[in-house]
Amino acid sequence: MKVKKYRASSMPEAMKKVRSDLGEQAILLQSKTVYTGGFLGFFKKKNIEVVAAVDPQIDRTPIKKEGQIPPAYIPQAPVLKEKHAVQADDGKLASEVSELKEMIKQLSRQTDRSLEAYPKEFHGVLLHLKTQEVSDALIHELAQTLMEKWKQEKGTADEERVRQWSRDWMQGKLQPYQPEEALFNKKYINIMGPTGVGKTTTLAKIAAMNVLEHKKKIAFITTDTYRIAAIEQLKIYANLLNVPVEVAYKAEDFRKAVDKFKEYDLIFIDTAGRNYRESSYINELEQIISFDESENYLVLSLTSKENDLEEIIENFSKVPIYRLIFTKLDETKTRGTLLNLIHKYNKGAAFITNGQNVPDDMMKADTVKITNLIFGDKYSE
């Protein structure tokens, strides 16, 4: 049996080489897509690599029917003589054929997402979103949307036009989760999240905004009794804003504090930032705070791995989360996580913080600002 390997830019071209070299009786043993070169997963050159064989002793002349796919395109196991069935080479060949069948199934489910499949005017924006760590699924969806618009414009759009289409698409993806409705619709504002994300500082920024801009009468309650520093930090902010603060060590303390502040407009609750993987953490919070009566905000750090952020959201899923708050924007250059999480969990962002200064380093999130951040454009404070 004669076995050879071929590489070409497409399957038809590869099969043309096979038939030219081995004849019409050649059979396909293996095929796979291979990429060479490229940058950051894009601009790679796509090739098809096939392994074909021919056995001169076997008559494979097909009976051609109208509309039948040429047999060279159909992977099939070679017909081996019985006396060869137990040989090692035959076992290897059978294994390769089995792998080939599985490969064909996988290839049939795959979509070519390389930039090579799209006009060069798309490359800049798609590569940018890739480096911003926007999910592959969303990038592919955008690329398909751009192709539809490209065809409508008969291929006359330039890169700037494509960029604007991309911005419009992103704002459209965000809009269902970023309604222009007022925040703080309930009296009790609960700020939650894992340790180290900047919950207390974020709470202070939001409280300062309500005191200084909206002239609200506010108070603090902290249930973070695990860290003395956290209590002292909140007391410092309370003194600067001239607002009261109560520490709740147990449910009874929390109820007394709520009753004490019943005449206030807003009560901000600072929760403990313990290990979010501990299921007991959420259960303990439920024993102190009534989540249904509060407006709950989950604080997430943009410097964390996206897989970890997904786990955090899922572990807090039993709490009715109203909005997300993203912190530490100033400590990372990649912002695709904003879009990925908002879209995946159908939860809008309320605020994005970009520094430690209270109350300055915080912006209210909306579709335009999030889009600008991901595209690297300037935004209005």
pLDDT along the chain (381 residues), means of 10: 78 82 73 62 66 63 41 39 48 64 49 65 90 91 91 86 94 89 87 85 90 91 72 85 88 89 92 62 65 87 92 85 93 93 94 83 92 76 37
* 221 membership: H or E segment, kind and range: strand 218-222
Q: 95 with 43, same domain?
A: yes
Count of helix runs (H) and strand runs (E) in the chain: 12, 11
Question: In Å, how far are 95, 116, 180 from 353, measured between CA atoms?
Answer: 56, 37, 19
Extended strands (E) in the chain: 2-8, 27-36, 45-54, 188-192, 218-222, 245-247, 266-270, 294-301, 321-327, 349-353, 362-364
Residue where a domain stops, chosen among 84, 109, 134: 109
Q: 191 with 324, same domain?
A: yes
Q: 258 with 139, same domain?
A: no
Pairing of strands 294-301, 188-192: parallel
For the chain, what is the domain count? 3
R_g (Cα) of the chain, nearest Å = 30
Q: 191 with 263, same domain?
A: yes
- Please check whether residue 271 is in contact with residue 285, taking contact to mean a CB–CB distance below 8 angstroms: yes
* pLDDT the model gives residue 86: 45
Question: In Å, how far are 169, 211, 304, 357 from 334, measured between CA atoms?
Answer: 19, 32, 11, 22
Q: 261 with 166, same domain?
A: no
Q: 241 with 305, same domain?
A: yes
Q: 137 with 220, same domain?
A: no
CATH code at position 209: 3.40.50.300
Q: 63 with 124, same domain?
A: no
- Please check whether residue 53 is in contact with residue 78, taking contact to mean a CB–CB distance below 8 angstroms: yes
Helix, strand, or coil (residue 198):
coil
Q: 133 with 271, same domain?
A: no
Q: 240 with 144, same domain?
A: no
Rounded to an integer, what distance in angstroms lies between the CA atom of residue 6 and that of residue 52?
Answer: 8
Would 378 be classed as within a structural domain? Answer: no
Q: Which of 350, 268, 253, 340 is nearest to 304 (CA)?
A: 340
* pLDDT the model gives residue 328: 92
Pairing of strands 45-54, 218-222: unpaired
- In one letter, which amino acid is 362? M
Residue where a domain stops, chosen among 109, 140, 162: 109
Rounded to an integer, what distance in angstroms lies between the CA atom of residue 154 and that of residue 236?
Answer: 62
Q: 311 with 336, same domain?
A: yes
- In one letter, which amino acid is 63? I
Would 13 be classed as within a structural domain? Answer: yes
Would 188 be classed as within a structural domain? Answer: yes
Would 373 be classed as within a structural domain? Answer: no
Q: Which of 228, 189, 223, 194 is nearest to 205 (CA)?
A: 189
Would 377 be classed as within a structural domain? Answer: no
Rounded to an integer, what distance in angstroms lies between the CA atom of residue 220 and that of residue 202?
Answer: 13
Q: 49 with 132, same domain?
A: no
Rounded to an integer, what distance in angstroms lies between the CA atom of residue 240 and that of residue 208?
Answer: 9
Residue where a domain stops, chosen among 85, 109, 133: 109
Q: Which of 194, 196, 239 is nearest to 220 (CA)?
A: 239
Would 370 be classed as within a structural domain? Answer: no
pTM of the full structure: 0.67
Dihedral sign, Cα of residue 14, residue 15, residue 19, residue 25: positive
Would 242 be classed as within a structural domain? Answer: yes
* pLDDT the model gives residue 89: 57
Domain that holds residue 79: 2-109
* pLDDT the model gives residue 129: 92
